[in-house]
Structure 1
Amino acid sequence: MTTARDAAETIRTARRPEDLFGTAATDSAARQAARRRYHQLAALVHPDRASTPDTETAFARLAELYRHWLELDGGDFEVVGALGSYPVAALHARGSVADIHRSGSAHVVKIPRRAAANRLLAGERNALRDIAIVADEHTWLRPYFPELIDTVDHRDPTTGEPRTINILGALTTEFVTLEQVRAAQPGGLDPRDYAWMHRRLLRCLAGAQLAGWVHTAITPENVLIHPRLHGVVLAGWSFATRPGTPAAATLRPIDYPPEIRDAVSPATDVYLAHRLLLTMLGDRAPAAMRTFATGCTQDDSRLRPVAADLLGEFDDLLDRLYGQRRFRPFELTKGQ
């Protein structure tokens, strides 16, 4: 069995990202293998599990090498939309149906990998446009959602297939996904830290309900946080669905509520957000918080609370558990 010391030495001697993760590739199998390799090594050298100068250095180096590996297959072309031209640079993230590339410091370019996913990115556009309209009236909502900048009709240079591309405001500087947080905190987050993340996520759900959309894919990969500023953004709107209809698409790993293939509703997002809460806290979830989540994940969607009502109820729960609220600095790579 590989030890923390062996893993730290492997990371220390790696001269380039390929030494740890293999040749850069765009196919999903290679990227899943690299992701598994990253999580395996991260678990071994995480400072919470093996806190030595060598493992702390190795953990930081591992994250840097993995980030560089993800960027190795960046594009080198430009797409033209209704409002401007956008260079397609390094790959920033690989979503379930689309690749997200950097485009300067202000934008990202979201390109569906297959033409069949064009309809899903069209759903994202419609949802983000409706949310923007609601946010013009309820300005407190703006920070919680990506901004749709432009759209592009494009043809794949290799296959000639049509691609409908979304240009979004960049959320790349200092933002990380909850999946990255989960990797850095494999034993589960301190509930006092996840409290502010969940409170803001509930605001996202309330805003989506006001706009008449259900996200349907609330996963660690789709929730972005800004650790220093305590910001939260609900991204990944490709599966957004109107209430009363079946989900536009589903992902196999998600623990969906029963209604997902019949008629989703805002209660669907309430269910998914509280499954996420339990996932992020793991064994560290207090009994009262588990009971709260249980009430939000009942099979009968009519029995789940409304997101807007949950804001006050969750605050009451936090008051009972932790007393007077105060700001807690959040460090991604250190246990709390």
Structure 2
Amino acid sequence: MDATAPAAASADEILAIPKEWPERLFTAAGAVEAEWRTLAKRWHPDRNPDDPQAGLVFRHLGDLHREAGRRIDGGVWRTPGSARFEALDGRVFSMRYRRHRSFAIGDLYAGRTNTVFAVERDHADLFENARRTLTALRYADGAMEAEFSRYVPRIVDTFETADRLVMAVASTEDLLLLDDLVAHFGGALEPRAAAWIVSALSNLACWLGWSGLAHGAIAPDTVMVSPRHHSVVLAGGWFHSVPFGAALLPSPEFAVRHGRPAVGPDKRATPRLDLELVRAVGRAALGDPNGTRLLTDPAVPRPMAEWLVLPPADDAFQDYRSWERAREASFGARRFVAMDVDVDAVIRQREEM
């Protein structure tokens, strides 16, 4: 669709625009009302009695118009590839992003140096929980901090807009969301690639266990990976983290579905919760999040498949040791196998879909 001429857009082009993306239809915040009137007149069912799509298009335009108004009022109007946030304290935060994703409580914008989470105000308690958790992370000494701080996001800024709570965390240009990487490879990674992701997450789970903290939302859309360095960052999901023994907070669907075996009737966080989720992420990386086919998949080494589908140990350190045995039995001694991935190309492909 020609973004400079929304009135010329076809029915299919308009209906293909997600309701949360009015910026893909209207050319600018200041042009919304005029363009809305033109479009509403063009697609009103009374003016198009013979067009079976007119009613659908008109209703969809109404949704896009309402979302546009909400975004303008909230100071978060975007243009594709850029986002601008007007803070209540008068500051303006602008960024060029490579990837935008909506998630259960807001929107994620991933740039080259920052990742931004814009959370709906209805979830202020979860936002504050993430801010409080990330600013209170602890390490036994400098060596532990050097090892594990690279796995977790560092807050750069937090602020409020009229309808969003915004958190910016540091990022690097070699990172992309795990589920984008999996999608790029047709829905399943090669087992060696999935193995280094499981290794990194299992190592991180040891530190979480030492900290007495359940992240509670380890998932393909909260984990970012660096194919170049074979490293991970648990970038998202900290909104749901709680200490062991605390009541669980509302959780994303992936965590609810795959973490259920580790949660008792009292709905409190246990050390096994993240261990179950690491396994689920490993299975998802292999294209089988429920683990129904792994044991019969000839491409997946049997020790790896068994580890991913069997219950975890009660202790993260014991669980990591069992993974190391399964990994070595599956692939032998550790060796770095380069992963030939153009991160920018993958992100562009996913963003355009």
Measured in 2, the distance between the counterparts of 1:101 and 1:167 equals: 9
Alignment correspondent of 1:75: 83
The DSSP-based 3-state class of the residue aligned with 1:205 is helix
The DSSP-based 3-state class of the residue aligned with 2:168 is strand
The 5 Å alignment of 1:11-90 reads 22-23=16-17, 25-26=19-20, 72=80, 74-79=82-87, 86-87=93-94, 90=97
- Once the 2 structures are TM-superposed, how far is the Cα of residue 176 of structure 1 from its aligned partner? 1.4
2:333 matches 1:324:
yes
Q: Equivalent of 1:292, from 307, 312, 320?
A: 307
Measured in 2, the distance between the counterparts of 1:144 and 1:293 equals: 22
Alignment correspondent of 1:241: 242
Q: 1:310 to 1:80 in 2, by over 3 A?
A: farther
The DSSP-based 3-state class of the residue aligned with 1:206 is helix
- The AA in structure 2 aligned to 1:99 is D
- Once the 2 structures are TM-superposed, how far is the Cα of residue 21 of structure 1 from its aligned partner? 8.6
In the superposition, the TM-score normalised over structure 1's length comes to: 0.67
Q: 1:211 to 1:155 in 2, by over 3 A?
A: farther
Q: Equivalent of 1:257, from 260, 266, 283?
A: 260
Measured in 2, the distance between the counterparts of 1:326 and 1:233 equals: 21
Q: 1:131 to 1:100 in 2, by over 3 A?
A: same
- Once the 2 structures are TM-superposed, how far is the Cα of residue 233 of structure 1 from its aligned partner? 0.6
Alignment correspondent of 2:225: 225
- The AA in structure 2 aligned to 1:296 is P
Contact 2:151 2:234 (C-alpha < 8 Å) held by counterparts? yes
Measured in 1, the distance between the counterparts of 2:204 and 2:15 equals: 35
- Once the 2 structures are TM-superposed, how far is the Cα of residue 248 of structure 1 from its aligned partner? 0.8
- Once the 2 structures are TM-superposed, how far is the Cα of residue 182 of structure 1 from its aligned partner? 1.8
Measured in 1, the distance between the counterparts of 2:81 and 2:335 equals: 43
- Once the 2 structures are TM-superposed, how far is the Cα of residue 134 of structure 1 from its aligned partner? 5.6
- The AA in structure 2 aligned to 1:164 is L
Measured in 1, the distance between the counterparts of 2:218 and 2:116 equals: 21
Q: 1:166 to 1:270 in 2, by over 3 A?
A: same
- Once the 2 structures are TM-superposed, how far is the Cα of residue 218 of structure 1 from its aligned partner? 1.4
Alignment correspondent of 2:124: 118
- The AA in structure 2 aligned to 1:210 is W
The DSSP-based 3-state class of the residue aligned with 2:83 is coil
Alignment correspondent of 2:212: 212
Segments ≥4 residues shifted beyond 4 Å:
18-21, 88-91, 132-137
The DSSP-based 3-state class of the residue aligned with 2:213 is coil
Alignment correspondent of 1:276: 281
Measured in 2, the distance between the counterparts of 1:286 and 1:94 equals: 35
Alignment correspondent of 2:157: 150
Q: 1:276 to 1:26 in 2, by over 3 A?
A: same
The 5 Å alignment of 1:160-239 reads 163-171=164-172, 173-186=173-186, 188-236=188-236, 237-239=238-240
Measured in 2, the distance between the counterparts of 1:73 and 1:331 equals: 25
The 5 Å alignment of 1:297-308 reads 297=312, 304-308=313-317
Measured in 2, the distance between the counterparts of 1:272 and 1:154 equals: 33
Query: What per-residue deviation string (whole Å, max 9, x for no partner) do you get for residues 137-180 of structure 1?
Result: 61200111111123213322xxxxxx432221134x12111211
- Once the 2 structures are TM-superposed, how far is the Cα of residue 224 of structure 1 from its aligned partner? 0.7
Gaps of 5+ in 2: 1-11, 25-77, 289-296, 343-353
RMSD: 3.3
- Once the 2 structures are TM-superposed, how far is the Cα of residue 210 of structure 1 from its aligned partner? 2.7
Measured in 2, the distance between the counterparts of 1:234 and 1:212 equals: 17
Measured in 2, the distance between the counterparts of 1:26 and 1:187 equals: 25
- Once the 2 structures are TM-superposed, how far is the Cα of residue 109 of structure 1 from its aligned partner? 2.9
Query: What per-residue deviation string (whole Å, max 9, x for no partner) do you get for residues 215-245 of structure 1?
Result: 1111111111111111211121121122112
Gaps of 5+ in 1: 1-17, 31-69, 157-162, 298-303
- Once the 2 structures are TM-superposed, how far is the Cα of residue 120 of structure 1 from its aligned partner? 0.9
Of all paired residues, the percent bearing the same amino acid is: 20
Contact 1:149 1:168 (C-alpha < 8 Å) held by counterparts? yes
Farther-moved stretch of structure 1 (253-262 vs 183-192): 253-262
- Once the 2 structures are TM-superposed, how far is the Cα of residue 116 of structure 1 from its aligned partner? 2.0
Alignment correspondent of 1:311: 320
- The AA in structure 1 aligned to 2:117 is K
Measured in 2, the distance between the counterparts of 1:305 and 1:71 equals: 47
Alignment correspondent of 1:131: 137
